[in-house]
Amino acid sequence: MEYEAVIGLEIHAQLLTSSKAFCSCSTKFGAQPNMNTCPICQGMPGTLPVFNKRALEYTIKMALACNCSINGISRFARKNYYYPDLPKNYQISQYELPVSEHGWVIIETEQGPRKIGITRIHMEEDAGKLVHDERNPVSYVDYNRTGVPLIEIVSEPDMRTPEEASSYLKTLHSILVYLRICDGNMEEGSFRCDANVSVRPVGTVEFGTKTELKNMNSFKNVQKGLHYEINRHTEIVREGGRIIQETRLFDPTSGATVSMRSKEQAHDYRYFPDPDLLPLRVDEEWITEIKNGLPELPAEKKERFIKDFGIPPYDAGVLTASRELAEYFEEVVNYFNNPKLVSNWIMTEFMRVLKADESSVKDSLVKPAQLAELLRMIEDGKISGKIAKTVFDEMWATGFSPDKIVLEKGLLQVSDTSELESIISKILDDNPAEVKKYLDGKTQVVGFFVGQVMKASKGKANPGLVNKILSEQLSKLSA
């Protein structure tokens, strides 16, 4: 019997508001432990939460970008549980009335685009962080993260392979970052996901029992963890065993998952409407205003790049994966209208140095106008493509214009015919054996001569001109 997997993801994304969801403490990552706290986010009795409207605005942005409907009235609920990183002993979340529901996104798969349903997007607050001392039997708690606004994006169980799950995750990550409502930093936990998975015989409609992989924080681990779980489920089911519904943890070192706890039922949390917070009312006018302010999203941008710039879908996908990179590309093309050449340079040289320096597009010392200027110098035959790479590295390091670098380093291409003629005739004089080979019909030695000219000119000879003069002089010799 053949089995197939059924996968649904719950994504948690921290919203990029400057203050927390229910108090005015800073959300900045990396502060000294417990510096970003106040009586409200420390859960002191007698304090009252005040909701941050910006968090709602950001949630609506995401909901609209994911084709969700927005509920005119939504409500905060208390999710009750005890854990030392949760000072109030309940988390403010949304339950029976979330802010948005019934959406979908399109993901790319090897078999083409697929539509994945989104069950709901609701708001909640993050918990604190426990820090376990490695040497002493002590744990510390840091409440800086307590109360940072989160959205939870719950998908329908529409994915069938770990690759689809990963593609879905990347799609949502990129939308959040495009909207500038989440920094998407997975190492710092700003974007994380719980992956639910079950298996069933191919052709059946009913779902199998699921397990949940908790707090996955890299695209690769989500794929690896799901592969492991799918194999584990399939083996158990094939041998007539039963899957226990439980929460499991993926260990990246061993590549295996281990049981963490058997899944608590939702009613264990004793959800009830939070009496300290009024229901939220969102009017149509505000929704329209937010909708009109949405930026172009990655999928639309990619389509436009293919259509308007005539670049291949692969290039368009790479360039639009980041909003900053896409905007950089468009600016360069604005100054230098050869989209394919610009795309080549960004995908190779520019992305190479970005990666090597772990730098960001906006910190780049090479501004779009300067990259355009460099490409124009190649087009005008002032420098070769090869020299341009050297110039580019210098621009990246210093921020100087290509003009200045080319002049100061004497890199201008030699297009002076008489100068090249004398270099070439000297090379032919110095290499009689190679010339003889050529005259004997071994025309491939031309490559050797070109190499020698380039060496003599330190790479600055104009290649077109070199080839022309070489063939003139060689044909004179054979005459």
Instruction: State which of residues 7, 13, 41, 445 lies at the interface with Zn ion (CB under 5 A).
Output: 41
25 binds, options Zn ion, ligand ADP, none, Cβ within 5 to 8 A by partner type: Zn ion
Reduce the DSSP state of residue 301 to 3 states and report it.
Answer: helix
User: Does 266 help bind ligand ADP (rule: CB under 6 A)?
Assistant: yes
Q: Which is nearer to Zn ion, 25 or 378 (CB)?
A: 25
Site size toward Zn ion, by CB under 5 A: 5
Binding of ligand ADP by 93 (CB under 6 A): no
Using CB under 6 A, which of 83, 207, 272, 314 touches ligand ADP? Answer: 207
142: left (phi over 0), alpha (psi -120 to 50) or beta: beta
- Closest to Zn ion by CB, 61 vs 88, is 88
Q: Which residues touch 384 (CB under 8 Å, ≥6 apart)? A: 378, 413, 459, 460, 462, 463
Q: How far apart are CA 394 and CA 6, in angstroms?
A: 51
Residue (109 or 457) nearer to ligand ADP, CB: 109
Cα 305 from Cα 303, distance rounded (Å):
5
Asked if 342 interacts with Zn ion (CB under 5 A), we say no
> What's the CA gap between 27 and 37, in Å, rounded?
10
Place of tokens 């044909």: 475
Closest separation in Å from C-beta 266 to ligand ADP: 5
**Helices and strands, number each (H, E), in the chain:** 16, 16
- Report what 38 binds from Zn ion, ligand ADP, none; CB cut-off 5-8 Å by kind: Zn ion
Query: Smallest gap, in angstroms, from Cβ of residue 165 to ligand ADP?
Result: 10
> Is 38 among the residues that bind Zn ion (CB under 5 A)?
yes
Would you give the binding string for ligand ADP spanning residues 284-323, x where CB under 6 A is met? Answer: ----------------------------------------
Angle at 174 between CA 11 and CA 318, to 5 degrees: 140
> How many CB atoms sit inside 10 A of residue 447's CB?
9
Selection from Zn ion, ligand ADP, none that 23 binds (CB < 5 to 8 A by kind) is: Zn ion
When binding is defined by CB under 5 A, the residue of 6, 21, 23, 68 that contacts Zn ion is 23
Report the C-alpha gap between 189 and 454 in whole angstroms: 52
Q: Which of 157, 225, 298, 402 binds ligand ADP (CB under 6 A)?
A: 157
204 binds ligand ADP (CB under 6 A): no
Whose CA is closest to 27, among 44, 43, 13, 11? 13
Report the half-sphere exposure of 36 (CA within 13 A, side-chain side).
24
Which residues bind to ligand ADP, rule: CB under 6 A? 6-10, 154-157, 196-198, 207, 210, 263, 266
Which residues bind to Zn ion, rule: CB under 5 A? 23, 25, 38, 40-41
